[in-house]
Amino acid sequence: MPRDYTLHTPPRPTAPRIEYRAELNEQQHAAVTAPPGQTLVIAGAGSGKTHTLTYRVAWLLDNGVLPEQILLLTFTNKAAREMLERVGALVQADTSRLWGGTFHSIGNKLLRWNAERLGYRKGFSIMDREDQKDLLETVVANSGIDTKGIRFPKAEVLGEIFSLADNTCEPLDELLATRYPYFAELIDDITKLRGLYQEKKLETNCMDFDDLLTQPVRLLREHPDLLERYQRQFEFILVDEYQDTNRLQCEFIELLTGPDGNLMVVGDDAQSIYSWRGADVTNILNFHKHWPKARVFKIEVNYRSVPEVLSLANASIANNRAQIRKNLQAARPEKGMLPALVPLDSGSAQASFVAQRILELADEGMSYDEMAVLYRAHFHSMELQMELTSRGIPFQITSGLRFFEQAHIKDVAAFMKFALNRQDEVSFMRMVKLIPGVGGASANKLWNAWLKTEAARAEVMVGKFSDLLLPMPVPKKAREGWDQLAYTLDELIVDGKPATPPEMIRSIYEGVYQDYMRAKFKNADQREQDIEQLSNYSSRFTDPLEFLSQLSLLSGVDTGDKPAPEEQEKEAVTLTTAHQAKGLEWQAVFAIWVADGMFPHARAVEGSDQGLEEERRLFYVTVTRAKDELYLCYPVVNHQARDGDILMRPSRFISELPADLMEKWNVRGGW
């Protein structure tokens, strides 16, 4: 009969005692101090789920559990770091040995030690989506499968299909039938490609993002010795945002926990917003089925938001049929200010409003760190980025690249820059390399030929670009593109005078760039929209140079103005998509483009009820980020340079709410 024996670390007499009772409510306290076993905390937004997990980690350390025995899984690596910092402050323990991070980062860590057991070699590389697409293209090309005659998924779509299959653990044929019925008859070819792709990854010692999860699961499933080792190591497993885990992540947790391990998960079914990426809310709803002995805690108090904000959130989510009903009570007193509903004349008026309010709040003493602007799609932030920049308001953007750092925006700008500054070698190179058939060497030759022309040295543009450029020797393949480029440049400077910025953008786009973009980028539609936005924005400038300097300032790239790392630490307003805002909170939250078709997204509205309910949960996530002030903004008119003015209606998530939950602001221009 083996004897159980537990090692304890000696108590730390110097550490101040944590006042668990004072800092936690009863339910939280019960969860934090719960005996070993499985525990579920299911509760609404801002009720302290993350707070509870943080204190649970502290409590475990306080009770002699070693840091390396704890595994903490969070939605972002930053969240894990912040939680551990807090724990470190609470118990003064060394949390660096604790395993905390996203599923992918923990999976990567396991693979770094053990990938050889799966046939990979040491130092495998991780492919990003771009690399993955390239590799898949090679695989398809060498597969002998004829993809020409029929509508065959492109490499990128194949990647998406494989990824969903991995994450949902669904067999390919079922997945195709439900999510991609139009590819269902290609099942044999797609299955074959999936196998070839796997082989290719192994052969090139590469893993894609999904492998960081599928491979660790395989590792644990196929190697009982490793399974036992890690089950033994991770005595306590804790998971935040459990409602957005997918089948594969759930399996990873179940394997590591073992049949009677110690597992604590927290989540909120009303905030499940990633089903499009394979998240499965039944993981949390059916938790007790897998773990019949689990203790369940519910928290019904919201500590984050003032009652005014909370009433709006409660009323909104009540419109969803598929949910566990909860009515969160506010712990905080009333603020005396209702959430603001702010219709604005246009997108730029919306940007001005947000920027001005941000400055006013800052004047009143609110830190920029405590303000955020949330939106449904990254490109909704474009005008605001420009407005904040021109007013000198610091911001950090977490939803994607800064608008002007994107390749297609810089491409278009390169034409304009060269037309205005004929010594601009960088822009010239960038521009000519877009022409099919022009590579680095011929671009160099062309530049040297250009330098010999009079126009290259003249202060003012003399003559026409085409007169100078057409005679130059270019590779045969590039001839047509080159000529087109020359004529396009002619349109930018007419009789020595530059055209207006929107005119220039239109010429570049229609003359050269549209064709290039459609051939080159997968998401050409999105990029077309971006360029349209750029053109909309440019219409407020008459001088293209002024417009271009504004662009450079915004991107901070061409001017060498990139903020130094220490500057990035300084206070800044956060700009983020609603998806990325999960789990976070700010004193003031501005939701922009809360207009029908924008939020909810048009596609979700056309689709099923489920799609719409997921959008509503996303709206719920958005509004519950606000602690004190919430602004719901939308432009009444969406001005499009191409299609003219489009009238916008407020989001149905606003119009379905009782009007007395909001205060309408009538914003007028002060000019």
* Catalytic center residues: 49-50, 240-241, 271, 625
Q: How far is the CB of 50 from Mg ion (least distance, A)?
A: 3
Closer CB to Mg ion, 348 or 624, in the complex: 624
| Interaction between residue 50 and Mg ion (CB under 5 A) | yes
Look at residues 240, 274, 266 and name the one whose alpha carbon lies nearest to residue 621.
Answer: 274
| Interaction between residue 624 and Mg ion (CB under 5 A) | no
Closest residue to ligand ATP, judged by C-beta, is 48
Q: How far is the CB of 290 from Mg ion (least distance, A)?
A: 22
Please tell me the total number of residues recorded for the chain in this structure. Answer: 671
Region of residue 90 (phi > 0: left; psi between -120 and 50: alpha; otherwise: beta) = alpha
Burial state string for 373-409 with b = 16 or more CB within 10 A and e = fewer than 16: bbbbbbbbbbbbbbbbbeeebebbbebbebbbebebb
Q: How far is the CB of 49 from Mg ion (least distance, A)?
A: 5
Q: Please, which of residues 571-630 interact with ligand ATP by CB under 6 A?
A: 583, 585, 624
| Interaction between residue 268 and ligand ATP (CB under 6 A) | yes
Q: Which stretch binds ligand ATP (CB under 6 A): 41-49, 352-360, 505-513, 651-659?
A: 41-49
Q: Please, which of residues 319-358 interact with Mg ion by CB under 5 A?
A: none
With CB under 6 A as the contact rule, the residue among 31, 39, 42, 48 that binds ligand ATP is 48
Kindly state the tokens that stand for 597. Answer: 């078709």
With CB under 6 A as the contact rule, the residue among 25, 138, 275, 484 that binds ligand ATP is 25
Q: How far is the CB of 62 from Mg ion (least distance, A)?
A: 22
Q: Which stretch binds Mg ion (CB under 5 A): 50-58, 297-305, 465-473, 642-650?
A: 50-58
| Interaction between residue 51 and ligand ATP (CB under 6 A) | yes
| Interaction between residue 638 and ligand ATP (CB under 6 A) | no
Rounded Cα distance between 651 and 610, Å, is 17
How many other CB atoms are found less than 10 A from the CB of residue 322? Answer: 14
With CB under 6 A as the contact rule, the residue among 27, 38, 39, 47 that binds ligand ATP is 47
Q: Which stretch binds ligand ATP (CB under 6 A): 43-51, 59-67, 496-504, 632-640?
A: 43-51
**With contact defined as beta carbons under 8 Å apart, do 83 and 57 qualify?**
yes
Residue 46 contact, options Mg ion, ligand ATP, none, Cβ 5-8 Å cut-off depending on partner type: ligand ATP
| Interaction between residue 45 and ligand ATP (CB under 6 A) | yes
Q: Which stretch binds ligand ATP (CB under 6 A): 24-32, 206-214, 387-395, 403-411?
A: 24-32
| Interaction between residue 58 and ligand ATP (CB under 6 A) | no
Q: How far is the CB of 25 from ligand ATP (least distance, A)?
A: 5
Closer CB to Mg ion, 107 or 583, in the complex: 583
**With contact defined as beta carbons under 8 Å apart, do 48 and 41 qualify?**
no
Rounded Cα distance between 632 and 425, Å, is 45
Kindly state the tokens that stand for 232. Answer: 């033994």
Q: How far is the CB of 317 from ligand ATP (least distance, A)?
A: 12
Closer CB to ligand ATP, 51 or 616, in the complex: 51
| Interaction between residue 44 and Mg ion (CB under 5 A) | no
Q: How far is the CB of 562 from ligand ATP (least distance, A)?
A: 32
Closer CB to ligand ATP, 50 or 580, in the complex: 50
How many other CB atoms are found less than 10 A from the CB of residue 671? Answer: 3
Integer CA distances (angstroms), 72 to 100, 232, 236, 239, 503, in order: 5, 15, 8, 6, 54
DSSP 394-439: -EEE-SSS-GGGSHHHHHHHHHHHHHH-TT-HHHHHHHHTTSTT--
Scanning the structure block, which residue is given the tokens 């030759």? 445
Residue 25 contact, options Mg ion, ligand ATP, none, Cβ 5-8 Å cut-off depending on partner type: ligand ATP
Closer CB to Mg ion, 324 or 451, in the complex: 324
**How many residues touch Mg ion (CB under 5 A)?**
3
Q: Are strands 301-302 and 371-375 parallel, antiparallel or unpaired?
A: unpaired
Integer CA distances (angstroms), 204 to 126, 178, 650, in order: 11, 32, 51
- Ramachandran angles phi, psi of 81, nearest 5°: -60, -45
DSSP annotation of 122 reads: T
DSSP 447-459: HHHHHTSHHHH-S
With CB under 6 A as the contact rule, the residue among 27, 38, 39, 50 that binds ligand ATP is 50
Q: Are strands 637-640 and 644-647 parallel, antiparallel or unpaired?
A: antiparallel
Give counts: helices (H), strands (E), the chain: 31, 21
Closer CB to ligand ATP, 102 or 114, in the complex: 102
Rounded Cα distance between 183 and 569, Å, is 48
With CB under 6 A as the contact rule, the residue among 56, 201, 304, 376 that binds ligand ATP is 304
Q: Give the list of residues 6+ apart from residue 417 with CB closer than 8 angstroms, or none.
A: 424, 427, 548
Closer CB to ligand ATP, 299 or 485, in the complex: 299
| Interaction between residue 583 and Mg ion (CB under 5 A) | yes
Contact code string over 163-202 relative to ligand ATP, x by CB under 6 A: ----------------------------------------
Question: Cis bond leading into 216, ω under 30°?
Answer: no
Contact code string over 539-578 relative to Mg ion, x by CB under 5 A: ----------------------------------------
Q: How far is the CB of 29 from ligand ATP (least distance, A)?
A: 9
| Interaction between residue 28 and Mg ion (CB under 5 A) | no
Kindly state the tokens that stand for 366. Answer: 């609110």
Q: Which stretch binds ligand ATP (CB under 6 A): 44-52, 181-189, 535-543, 556-564?
A: 44-52
How many other CB atoms are found less than 10 A from the CB of residue 137? Answer: 14
Residue 245 contact, options Mg ion, ligand ATP, none, Cβ 5-8 Å cut-off depending on partner type: none
Residue 51 contact, options Mg ion, ligand ATP, none, Cβ 5-8 Å cut-off depending on partner type: ligand ATP
Q: How large is the C-alpha radius of gyration of the chain?
A: 28
| Interaction between residue 49 and ligand ATP (CB under 6 A) | yes
Kindly state the tokens that stand for 32. Answer: 């934090």
- Ramachandran angles phi, psi of 342, nearest 5°: -125, 95
Binding-site ranges for ligand ATP (CB under 6 A): 24-25, 28, 45-51, 268, 271, 303-304, 583, 585, 624
Which residues lie near Mg ion (CB under 5 A)? 49-50, 583
